[in-house]
A and B are shown apart, each in its own frame.
Chain A
């Protein structure tokens, strides 16, 4: 059973461009979480999604950030008009059901130049 997959692993964007980060949960998992890890810091929750629903986006910046988890395909975290402060590692986690252990992917390291 493959683990949580994230791609790309590394992404470089210039200021003002868009970044799209993909997360494929473990097989049978329908719950996805996104976290951001700034340099020298712990992970901070961004958003929690189930298939076709955003359950909790309380950690998501109000502007430029959006997330989706369609019925088919991976979950996408989208950052529009990136700025240098968006440079971070973005981790996705999945779980098979609500309030259950989360399994993390390897992360996408976004660098904004």
Chain B
């Protein structure tokens, strides 16, 4: 079946540090890949997505590249801000299944 393995948290960084959150997946066929962000007490917001190999999704300074050869979709940001503190979820949808399969989430805390 489909699965997403996400870097264990929590992650604590200082403002302006470089961020990487690792995500690898197992899926049938050619999945679409997503990063969602969840701020405290809120629902999930789509951060970025990629639908085919070598696509790069980007938004608000965050980037992730769909790597089919390593089945990965790592999230990166060059300089994090305090306002980036949240939980980040990697997810996929694949084949005829319409639902999203999520990783366990990574709590990011950015200190001023």
Q: Which of A1-17 contact B (CB under 8 A)?
A: 4, 6
Whether B99 contacts A48 by the Cβ 8 Å rule is yes
Write out the residue numbers on chain B whose beta carbons fall within 8 Å of the beta carbon of A35.
99-100, 102
Write out the residue numbers on chain A whose beta carbons fall within 8 Å of the beta carbon of B43.
4, 6, 91, 104-107
Which residue in B4, B44, B97, B101 is a CB contact (below 8 Å) of A91? B44
Q: How many residues of B contact A (CB 8 A)?
A: 21
Tell yes or no: B98 within 8 A of A by CB: yes
Write out the residue numbers on chain B whose beta carbons fall within 8 Å of the beta carbon of A93.
44, 100
Write out the residue numbers on chain B whose beta carbons fall within 8 Å of the beta carbon of A102.
46, 100
Whether B42 contacts A43 by the Cβ 8 Å rule is no
Q: How many residues of A contact B (CB 8 A)?
A: 26
Tell yes or no: B105 within 8 A of A by CB: yes
CB distance from A69 to the nearest CB of B (A): 14
Write out the residue numbers on chain A whose beta carbons fall within 8 Å of the beta carbon of B89.
42-43
Whether A44 contacts B49 by the Cβ 8 Å rule is no
Which residue in A42, A99, A101, A105 is a CB contact (below 8 Å) of B49? A101
Tell yes or no: B22 within 8 A of A by CB: no
Whether B105 contacts A42 by the Cβ 8 Å rule is yes
Whether A43 contacts B44 by the Cβ 8 Å rule is yes
Whether B98 contacts A43 by the Cβ 8 Å rule is no
CB-based closest 6 A-B pairs: A45-B99, A42-B102, A104-B43, A104-B44, A106-B43, A42-B104
